[in-house]
Amino acid sequence: MKRIMIKIAYDGTNYSGWQTGDKKNGIEDILNAKISKLTNENISIIGTSRTDSGVHANGNIAVFDTNSDIKPDKYSYAINNLLPLDISILESKEVPLDFHPRKAKTIKTYVYKIHNSKIRNPLKEHFAHHVYYDIDIDKMILASNYLIGVHNFKSFINPESQIIQYANEHNIINDDITTREIYSIDIRKKDDLIEIKIIGNGFLYHMVRIICGTLLKIGMSMWVPDYIKEIMDKQDRKYAGFTLPAKGLTLESIEFVN
């Protein structure tokens, strides 16, 4: 028995997210079926990050156990021969059998893309959120500085999140469940494309999309930059900005740290 780690890229447009659902149209459903067919085993992969419906990835990580004699570094080629064109294994290698990607400490990088143009471009439609209003990225950069570091991000989580519902049902008042650390936020504009790159140790349900929606309102001069401090202090989702569409978000990379 050996454990294989795979690095996966996918266009999430046609899928119900990473995790399996009623329609069995999650990325993990596709991978389980194709790898099972390849190895003639009942494969059940373990993913590191559960991206939402419509979210893309350039470096999600998963592992699976197998008795197949395929060389670890050849799985990427073998699996790709069976996959649809919007999913690809970028890399494969063997890892220790006791390695569990969800229990390991990680650094995750997400990128949100905004197509800032008066005219919509269909070639950018699947991978960026179109905004035709003027956006001041200097205001967004100023506001983003308040988010760097260790904070309780309760204002930036969807209230329907499982951890919020569990905490409410069990009367749990614990800031740790919504506390995360953001290492950096980099906001750049090239031509008509704005990219917001957020790096942190983990993210809550819809957290990145809500943060980006909040920064967007500030960039559109609907709020002043330091209003983001009040949003964080309120610890209430209703004070934060839009939940931007999933299509603009890409899980860029996952790095495992000791």
Q: Are residues 51 and 175 in the same domain?
A: no
The single residue of 29, 52, 233, 236 carrying the catalytic annotation is 52
- The pLDDT tens digits for 233-253 are 999 999 999 999 999 999 999
Which domain range does residue 69 map to?
Answer: 2-95
3 state SS of 43: coil
Kindly state whether residue 219 falls inside one of the protein's structural domains.
Answer: yes
What CA–CA distance (Å, rounded) separates 200 from 198? 7
Q: Is 69 a catalytic residue?
A: no
Find out whether 139 and 221 touch, Cβ atoms under 8 Å: yes
Residues 78, 111, single domain; the answer is no
Structure tokens at 104: 């390991």
d(CA 203, CA 151): 12
What is the Cα–Cα distance from 157 to 205, expressed in whole angstroms? 6
How far, in Å, CA of 63 to CA of 234, rounded? Answer: 39
Assessment of whether the complete model's pTM goes beyond 0.85: yes
Residue 160 inside a domain? The answer is yes
Q: Could you tell me if 28 and 126 lie in one domain? A: no
Yes or no: say if 205 and 158 are a contact pair by the CB < 8 Å rule.
yes
What is the distance between the alpha carbons of residues 211 and 198, in angstroms, rounded to a whole number? 10
pLDDT tens per residue, range 115-173: 999 999 999 999 999 999 999 999 999 999 999 999 999 999 988 777 666 666 656 66
Overall number of domains in the chain: 2
Tell me if 110 is assigned to some domain: yes
